[in-house]
Structure formats: structure tokens, C-alpha cells
Structure 1
């Protein structure tokens, strides 16, 4: 029985690739899933595994040929074949190295321990793919178990991928910006290995910060294009595995080379100021939006387009809460191991008001209204990656101390990029605090499908008329944005007044008034 060797799927926008190299030849015996060839696209190199065990019968596409996705490039049949050629791949890659020092380097780099694959983890029912963000390690670098290897960005959060074992990174299968499916290979670690002098030499080409391919031959398509463009390997930074120069690298280098003369000659010219538009364009920076930022933009705009959103305002005198906090903050921290902030009071005030005005804790599902008999309170947290909303579950059943502890945990996880999808699902109402950035007043956008969001703001001393006298009080503006399809104006105003009453007289929370 003959099994065809076909070009695998390479991604949504990639339809063809170039045969970079064959690791086997007709007559060689191969095992299923053993690497038999390497393909090169504009963005990455891809290894082709053997679809079955057997003997290479025929190779129909030679190195340097361009082949389409799904094309047949060879075949495997039954038979004994010649001795297994598993070690031919690395030998062929290093074919040009003949010096004894290079032979020593090759033997040191050859994996001796078990190769452990690191794959894209499952991130929740609705998450099927992620984008590779920052890569923290290099090929050849030693890592310890649980070290952060790279970052994956999904529609909902950024997640660090830890090392499952201690060892040395031998291969990266992805680059920054790649979109990967759940279960896809990210990298391989040689378990138990230690980084030696070989680590530094192997990691340098992977980063390709200096020009050239670090000893790895440029891909055939890249070599052809370099010849056409008049470029040498030292002019191009390789982004492929082991620093290999790919076709896309040559395109980038040619574009930079083409633009450099005009830039260098600019100082010598005395062009009028009005003709400086190209200089403005050169000073611009185009950065691709992260998946998280794209999702934030889409969801906020969807909320504006879908909900009948309206905002009502009030103000709260923070004197009572601030006095209570000042009086008990040291004792509170000593007993509970967490600082007493304002969010505990606001969360309990919101939960108290939600019980009285359940419409603010509801959502629309088609033609039905779903009233939630629980309070999962989302806390909007700003991070360097964008806005995330971790959820304090069953906040209505928590004490202020429990709320503060959970909020501290979630805020730290958000800043460290370690929030899970479960941490951000199921919220019924959201609180956002623009006051920490100095905002005096705002109109927050609801976090659909929720029907309400409370905006906190800066505490500022203002003159207030109390008992016929003008006194200075610490005041905060509150804003409640709500979905008018569910919440009537009377309910929205009443809800905000209840929050105000609870904060100005915290004893009401204790007495459930």
C-alpha cells in the first residue's frame, strides 16, 4: 500500500510554500510522524512529518520547488528499505560545517534527553485560538519548571505559558504574532538538559538580532530573492528557526534598503517645510492591535449599538466611610492580612441596592428578561494590555474582608497577565473606578449583556450646605449607566440613591436597611 505525502495546511492566508530541504531520500526507512522534509513560507518554516511508517518510494518535488497546500510531494510504501536515517536531518542542516570545532558543537546541541512538547492549552469553551504575544525565552536557553516561556493573547485575556519541566529549549514552532489553535505545538524542551556553551551559540541565530542566518543556510526562495535584489546574508536578519533567512525577511530588508537613500539624503536637501509629509510618515509607528484590544473595541461598540444606554448621576459624601476606614484600617489589616480600601464598601453597597432593584441585575435574552438572584460583581481593571473585568463571584454573600481579599488576588493576577477565562466570566453588574486616574466625572459604557455599571470618581473636597451652614466635605460623583430597555429611570435613580445612602451611613449595611 502506498501513502501519499502531502503539503499540510499552513494557515488561513497561506496557500503555497517552498521545499526548503528533504531529510530523507528514496529508499530510506521512516517511522510515522518522523520529520522527513521542511517547508518554507513567507513567515515561518514548517516540518512535514511522515504520514505512515514505511520506505520513501518517490519524491516528486525537489528542494526549491514551490508547492500548493494539499499537493503531493512524495510517497511512502512498504518494504525494508535502507538503515533508518533519523540522524540525517541535523547532519544535512549542518552539511557545510566541516571544522572539528563545529562537529563538537553539533554533538553538544544534539538532544540527549526526552523532548517535551509545549502546546496551546484549553482556555475555555468559547476560546479556540490565540495569538502569540511576547516570547520570553530563546532556543538553547535553560529553563526551570514553571518559568514563563511566552505569552498568548486571546479575545478575553493574556496568558503566560509556563515550562512543564526543567531543561533546555530546543525548538520554537511559533513566532510573535502567529495565530495558533488550541492544542497546537508551541515549542519543545529537552527535559533534564543543561545549557552549556552551545546554548549561547544556538540562541543567537534564533533571535537574529544581527544580520545573517547564524550558520543556517538561507531558504531556497530567500536565496533566489537575495540574488535578484543584490543583497547578501549579512544584510538580512533571519526570523526562521535557528535564525534561517526566509523570503519574508528578504522582502523586509529590501524595503528598508529601498527607503534608506531618501532618508539619508534628506539632511542635504533644503526642501520647503510644506513638503515634509514623507518625513511625518517616517516618524509614524504602525502597531497591530492585540486580540484583547480588538475585543474590547468590538464589545464596547456593540454595547452602544445594542443597548438603550442612559446615565444618571449623584454625589456621595465620603466622610463616614473615610472616618471608619481611618479608625479601623490598622486593626483590619492586622486581622485579615489585607488593606481596607473603598471597594469593599462600594461592593457591599451595590449588592444591597441590587436586592432592592433587581432590574439593574438583570439581562435581556431575546424576548425574555433574566433576573439574577445572585451578585457576581465585575471590577474593571486597567492593565498595560488593556481593560479587563475580573469577577468577584457571590459578592452578596461575602464580608467586606472577603471582598477585599478576592479583589487583591484578581487585581494582582490581572497585572501579571495570569487571569483565567473563568475569572472573567459570569458577571451580573460592574464597578469601574476612574477616580484612581483623577477622573472627576464620566459616563461609563455598560458591559453587555449586563444592564448596569457604576462609575466611581475622584474624591474631592467641596463646599457643601449642611444644616444651613457651608462646610467642606470630601465628595465623590457617582455615575450609573444603565440599559433603558430593562431599567426604568425611577429604578435607576432609586438604585443610585440607595448606594449613596449606604455609603453616607455605613451602619445601614450592618443593619440591612
Structure 2
């Protein structure tokens, strides 16, 4: 029985996607719910799994091709994979047909020297890196070299050998001063990030105001209760983000214009606080959203952010989890940034930037003390927010963090 494998239904905010990686080849046995292909959109990588036990009969869209919602990308055959059936006379024609297709596919994928079988993606990667296919161990069916095999060979090349062309026994020593360039296409996610950043810079009157916060009260509170907090909340660790999100939510409640957005000639005031938290991944920056953050406790905030971080790095976040948001917090301090000017996450009107905690001499009651200080940056859309509101908003966050009891008392 043949089944059409279709691209997922994309949300309205996603126009199309790109075939990123085929994990299974035509004729290769596939189990139900096993991953067969990744589709990359401008927001997230979507996984398509097998609808049943069987095999892919034909791939309609190759890696790098653009696909739309519900577009057929492959034909799937339910039942035993081609070439795997044994002793069934009725299945013999189907076996021969599958084997014939597999052989034809292999002929397409054989390299010029005829010794190695490579998938199209593997051949492309090998050519880009000037690799000799005969030196790459193949782990696929009948010794086929997959894209993962080439990536593994590149990773192990310094230890297990050289990635030299066929004609060279050893790579020639690099001439002193020789310069190399490598051109690779931008991923859809990176292109979309670039478009949104340019849009924010060109379509808003963006301004940034700065302040600094004494982190000692928060650090003392964290040191005192972190062990008890972790035991009470099933292993959830007490970090700084929980305090910052709670402080931001309280400040947003006091200054609703910071939580608003511009839609044409209208200002939309949101009666809820959906706080986005910027997460860095290998493919780019994503911003999953804490829905109704005003109803979340610190433990719930910390555990949810940790879950977002783990799933973002594995590409497991859904589009819905990264859609919306009324305010964003980004933390460049985890990478050592001491001061920065964050760019707005449209259509939001403001974004808060956290930074590295740095010990500095500060004047306290006429005396010099060494205190752990952090710069805070608030970028905002001056079309909607006046400097007075933006500064008061940032000072409110500073006051709440320097006196954490105010978060509990809401004063």
C-alpha cells in the first residue's frame, strides 16, 4: 500500500520550508514513527516521521528543495522494505521492482571511479571539502557512504588520516601567509533572523537606555536557599532568570505601554505578560515564550526556561512555542558581554538586555565597597514610549532586584 509523505501544515506565519536532511533512503527499511526527514523553516526545524513500518519508494523533493504546506515530498510503501522479504512468491515481483529501483539509484550515486556509492548529499559534502570518497568508510546499505559518514570522516580526519584529494598522498604544507575562503549558503533560520533585525532597525525609532543593578541581594538570597529550593522543586535549580522575569512582569504591570505594540495606526495594549526568553543555538537565536508569565512562580519559570534551552539545542521547539510574546529578555552575560544594545523583537515595543556580573568598587554611604554589579539595557520604540516611561520602567526592575522582598510584597 502506497502512502503520500507530505510536509506538515505550516502556521500562517510560515510560508514554506526547505528539505534539510533525508535520514532514510529509498528501499531502506523504516519503522513506524521513525524519523525520515527534517524540514527547516525560518523559525524551527520540523521532523517528519514514518506513518507505518515499510520503506520509502520514491523521494519527490531533494535536500535543499523548497516545499509548501501539505506538499507531497515522498512516496512511502507500507510493509516490508524492498529486498527484505524472504520466501514469499507473491512478493517476488515487488522485490524485483524495489531491487531494480535501488540498483538504478545506486548507479546514479556511484562516483566516477565506480568504487564507492555515495548519497547525493554525501557526494556534495565530499566535493566541497576535496575528499577522496574511497577513503571514507560507508555505514549505509551495501557500504553506501552517507552524509553522516562524511561529517564523521571530517571530524576524525586530523586523528585518522588526511582529507586530501585522490592524487595526493599527504596534503602539501600550507604556505605561510596563504589565505582561504569558504562560501556556504545561509540557512533559512539565519536569513529570517537577518530580515527581522534589519526590519526592526529600519521601521522603528529605536533607542536604548542603561542602568546598573547591585546583584548582591539576589546572590545572597540564592546562596542561602538554592539547596533547599532544588530539593523542594524536584531538582529545579535557582538561577537569576526567575528573578528577572518576575521583576519584568511586575514592571510591565505598572507600565502597560511597555507591554504594548503598534499595529498600523493603532496601539494594542495586552492584558497579559507573555515574556520571550532569547536562547542561542548552533543554527541561530530563537525566542521561546513564557505564556502568562504573570501567573508563574520562580520555580516554574526556571524549569520552563531550562526545558526551552535543552529542546532549542536539539531543534525540538514547536513554532507555537516561539510565536507571539509581548516582551523579551536576552542575556548576553552568559557569553561574557559587559554591555550591549539589544535589538527589538518586532512587533514588541521593548527588550531587556542582561549582562555579565562584574565586581567593581562602588560608593555606598560615603564608603567604597566591592559589589557585584550588572549593567541593564532597555531598548524601546520611541514612537510608542517616551524616555520618561522607559527609564522609570528600567529603574523599577533595578529597585525590585536590589530588594527582592518587594517582589513578594508587590510594592
TM-score (norm 1): 0.62
Q: Does the alignment pair 1:208 with 2:109?
A: yes
Deviation at 1:194, TM superposition (A): 5.1
1:144–1:334 CA distance, 2 compared to 1 (3 A): farther
1:304–1:143 CA distance, 2 compared to 1 (3 A): same
Written as runs of structure 1 = structure 2, the 5 A alignment for 1:42-53 is none
Q: Does the alignment pair 1:140 with 2:32?
A: no
Partner SS state of residue 477, structure 1: strand
Partner SS state of residue 38, structure 2: strand
Structure 2 unmatched ranges of 5 or more: 85-94, 118-133, 135-143, 145-166
In the alignment, what sits opposite 1:184? 71
Q: Does the alignment pair 1:159 with 2:46?
A: yes
In the alignment, what sits opposite 1:331? 228
Q: Does the alignment pair 1:445 with 2:346?
A: no
CA deviations on 1:220-264 (whole Å, 9 max, x unpaired) are xxxxxxxxxxxxxx9xxxxxxxx9xxxxxxxxxxxxxxxxxxx99
Q: Does the alignment pair 1:313 with 2:214?
A: no
Select the residue among 178, 183, 194 that pairs with 1:297.
Answer: 194
Residues in 1 aligned to 2:210 and 2:389: alpha-carbon distance in whole angstroms: 13
1:206–1:467 CA distance, 2 compared to 1 (3 A): farther
Residues in 1 aligned to 2:228 and 2:107: alpha-carbon distance in whole angstroms: 54
In the alignment, what sits opposite 1:416? 314
CA deviations on 1:305-340 (whole Å, 9 max, x unpaired) are 111100011111111111222222222222223222
In the alignment, what sits opposite 1:18? none
Partner SS state of residue 353, structure 2: strand
Written as runs of structure 1 = structure 2, the 5 A alignment for 1:213-224 is none
Deviation at 1:195, TM superposition (A): 7.5
1:207–1:418 CA distance, 2 compared to 1 (3 A): farther
Residues in 2 aligned to 1:206 and 1:508: alpha-carbon distance in whole angstroms: 72
Deviation at 1:444, TM superposition (A): 0.4
Residues in 2 aligned to 1:469 and 1:208: alpha-carbon distance in whole angstroms: 75
Deviation at 1:377, TM superposition (A): 0.4
Residues in 1 aligned to 2:306 and 2:289: alpha-carbon distance in whole angstroms: 12
Residues in 2 aligned to 1:383 and 1:350: alpha-carbon distance in whole angstroms: 24
Residues in 1 aligned to 2:242 and 2:256: alpha-carbon distance in whole angstroms: 20
TM-score (norm 2): 0.77
Confirm or deny: 8 A CA contact 1:461 1:472 kept in the other structure: yes
Confirm or deny: 8 A CA contact 2:110 2:116 kept in the other structure: no
Q: Which moved more, 1:137-146 or 1:339-348?
A: 137-146
Q: Which moved more, 1:304-313 or 1:133-142?
A: 133-142
1:180–1:470 CA distance, 2 compared to 1 (3 A): same
Partner SS state of residue 500, structure 1: helix
Written as runs of structure 1 = structure 2, the 5 A alignment for 1:28-427 is 114-193=1-80, 202=102, 205=106, 208=109, 210-211=111-112, 283-337=180-234, 338-427=236-325
1:187–1:336 CA distance, 2 compared to 1 (3 A): farther
Residues in 1 aligned to 2:365 and 2:8: alpha-carbon distance in whole angstroms: 62
CA deviations on 1:329-383 (whole Å, 9 max, x unpaired) are 2222222232221111110000000111111111111221111111000111111
Deviation at 1:468, TM superposition (A): 2.1
Partner SS state of residue 117, structure 1: strand
Structure 1 unmatched ranges of 5 or more: 1-113, 217-233, 235-242, 244-262
Q: Which one has a bigger Cα radius of gyration? A: 1
CA deviations on 1:18-67 (whole Å, 9 max, x unpaired) are xxxxxxxxxxxxxxxxxxxxxxxxxxxxxxxxxxxxxxxxxxxxxxxxxx
Tell me how large the CA RMSD over aligned residues is: 3.3
Deviation at 1:157, TM superposition (A): 1.8
Residues in 2 aligned to 1:187 and 1:481: alpha-carbon distance in whole angstroms: 46
1:208–1:396 CA distance, 2 compared to 1 (3 A): same
Residues in 2 aligned to 1:496 and 1:448: alpha-carbon distance in whole angstroms: 20
How many residues matched? 348
1:215–1:438 CA distance, 2 compared to 1 (3 A): closer
Deviation at 1:174, TM superposition (A): 1.6
Residues in 2 aligned to 1:185 and 1:134: alpha-carbon distance in whole angstroms: 16
Deviation at 1:424, TM superposition (A): 1.2
Deviation at 1:173, TM superposition (A): 1.7
Residues in 1 aligned to 2:209 and 2:290: alpha-carbon distance in whole angstroms: 25
